[in-house]
Structure 1
Amino acid sequence: MTETFEVGQKVRIHGDVEAEVTYGPFRSTYGTYTGYVVRIGEMERLAREGDLTAIPEAPKFSVGDKVAVHGRPEGTLVAGPYTGHFDDVAFWVVEHSNGGHTTPSEGVLSKVVERVTDEDVYEYGGVIYDLAAKYRDQDGDVWRFERQSNGKIRGTYFSRDVSQYDDELSFVVAEYGPLTKI
């Protein structure tokens, strides 16, 4: 079974390396395979369609999330998602501050997110990393991360200080993740 991937979609190459599709699909020069360009950390490479598998996306919302509903005041998700009877559109039950409820479709909802500004944390791939903490990778190595003067987050699993030549957090997550805070 062939699977078509879209630009921006998260995928695994050979089942273990996480990547993001940046271009494709396209046929190879002699039409022998369908290919994509994928990004792993900061580098891009060619990948054959048969080497890729989709990474299921986490649900956009969950019960308890604070949301804004287009044209309506903010509220809290109290139930859902449900699928409409006459269409396959997902909808949620939103409780508003006045105690009233609405059932908007998922497409008109957006999360109310407080911006992370603390220098000791960094958000990557939907995960917030505490830069004061240590993290264990899938091989058992313990990593420390620091924000560099250029704003990049780099880390090392050696006992020395983190330098500009160490691996970026995005690369470490792609190659050695998932990372577990210890």
Structure 2
Amino acid sequence: MAEAQYETRTKTVEETFVVLRLTEDEADALRGFIGQVSSSGDVYRIHQALTRPANPEPAADTFEYEGVTYEMGATYQDRVGDKFTFEAGTAGPGETPRGRFWDSNRGKFGDSCWTLSEVVDGWAPLTKVTA
């Protein structure tokens, strides 16, 4: 008897990008040169990118404390492995933003609030959790 089943496979792909930073004058010169060379394939796509540059991503809501910039809403791990997330708009006058502590027993951020300064002063360094 024949049997079939679906499988899900996860593939990890690493890509390398080259970022070219140009002044407007340099971009104009390169655009003019590329426009004269070819109008097909990769050269065409490069010309199109120079003709219609994408708008930059909006800046994340951040807060700077003691020379370090923290992204609000991101999760940070302290030196002993505890996790916190800090929320924009929660700082009172003269305060740093308030954050919530990850409650591993409940598997979510709990209700206990800590200020960014309390966490940094007591448990630095904080490392942004990216995965």
The TM tier, using the shorter chain, reads 0.3 to 0.5
Could you say which structure has the greater relative contact order, defined with CA pairs below 8 angstroms and 6 or more residues apart? Answer: 2
Give 1 or 2: higher strand fraction: 1
TM-score, normalised to structure 2's length? 0.42
TM-score, normalised to structure 1's length? 0.31
